[in-house]
Structure 1
Amino acid sequence: MKKQRRTFLVLLLLFTLFLSIPVFAEGNEKADFGWISILPPLVAIVLAFVTEQVL
């Protein structure tokens, strides 16, 4: 149980860090999310397996 909680907290921390990247970006460049756009589905899949809420 503690391992699952630790895994969840690590994933939550990483997700939060990835969301904060655009906030600290400088300049007037056009936003190019690229590979970051795949992150939300991957987080959802990992969380589904961690919480055992899969079909």
Structure 2
Amino acid sequence: MPQLNPNPWFTIMLLTWFTFSLLIQPKLLSFIPTNNPTDKTTTTKPTPWTWPWT
């Protein structure tokens, strides 16, 4: 069963992760997001639930 031989696949996986980590990820992280997150402040205080039997 050649698919269980980890010799070529482990090297390919490592090269792929190094490529992603060193080349692609910094390029993606350098993009400026178009919608900056804003702080969501709650100005209204929720009213407590009024139970009909109390």
- Establish whether TM, by shorter chain, passes 0.5: no
| TM superposition score category, shorter chain reference | 0.3 to 0.5
Larger radius of gyration: 2
State TM-score, norm by structure 2.
Answer: 0.36
State TM-score, norm by structure 1.
Answer: 0.35
